[in-house]
Amino acid sequence: MATTADFRNGLVINFNGELYAITDFQHVKPGKGPAFVRTKLKNVKTGKVIPNTFTAGVKIDVQRVEHRPHQFLYNDGEDYHFMNNESYEQVFIEKDLIDAPGLLKEGQSVNIVYHADTETALYAELPSFVELKITYTEPGLRGDTATNTMKDATVETGAIVRVPLFIEIDEVIKVDTRTNTYSERVKS
In angstroms, rounded to a whole number, what is the distance separating the alpha carbons of residues 29 and 94? 42
* Pairing of the two strands 12-15 and 18-28: antiparallel
Total tally of structural domains belonging to the chain: 3
Q: Are 129 and 179 in contact (CB under 8 A)?
A: no
Nearest partner of 60 among 4, 135, 117, judged by Cα: 4
**Pair 79, 121 in one domain:** yes
Same domain, yes or no, for 36 and 22?
yes
CATH of residue 19's domain is: 2.30.30.30
pLDDT of residue 108: 92
Separation between Cα atoms, residue 77 and residue 29, nearest integer Å: 50
Tens of pLDDT, residue by residue over 139-186, are: 876 665 666 788 899 999 889 999 988 888 999 999 998 888 999 988
pLDDT tens across 51-85, in order?
Answer: 999 998 899 999 998 989 999 999 888 889 999 99
| pLDDT tens-place string over residues 78-106 | 889 999 999 999 999 888 888 888 899 99
Chosen domain end from 62, 82, 110: 62
What pLDDT does residue 142 have?
Answer: 64
The SS3 call for residue 41 is: strand
Per-residue pLDDT band at 2 (split at 50, 70, 90): confident
Clarify whether residues 58 and 70 are in a common domain.
no
Of 22, 42, 62, the domain-final residue: 62
Same domain, 81 and 43: no
- pLDDT, residue 78, reads 82
Whether 136 and 177 map to the same domain: the answer is yes
- Cα distances (Å, whole numbers) of residue 73 to 57, 83, 127: 45, 7, 16
Do 71 and 87 share a domain, yes or no? yes
Which uninterrupted H or E stretch holds 68?
Answer: strand 65-75
What secondary structure letter does DSSP report for 32? S
Q: Model confidence at 10, in pLDDT bands (50, 70, 90)?
A: confident
CATH code for position 177: 2.40.50.140
Q: Are residues 92 and 120 in the same domain?
A: yes
CA distance 59 to 67: 25
Q: Can you give the residue range of the structural domain that contains 23? A: 2-62
Global pTM reads 0.76
User: Are 155 and 137 in a shared domain?
Assistant: yes
> Among 103, 125, 147, which residue terminates a domain?
125
User: So what's the pLDDT on residue 53?
Assistant: 94
Between CA 74 and CA 106 the distance in angstroms is 6
Q: What is the mean pLDDT of the chain?
A: 88
Task: Please report the pLDDT score of residue 143 as a whole number.
Answer: 63
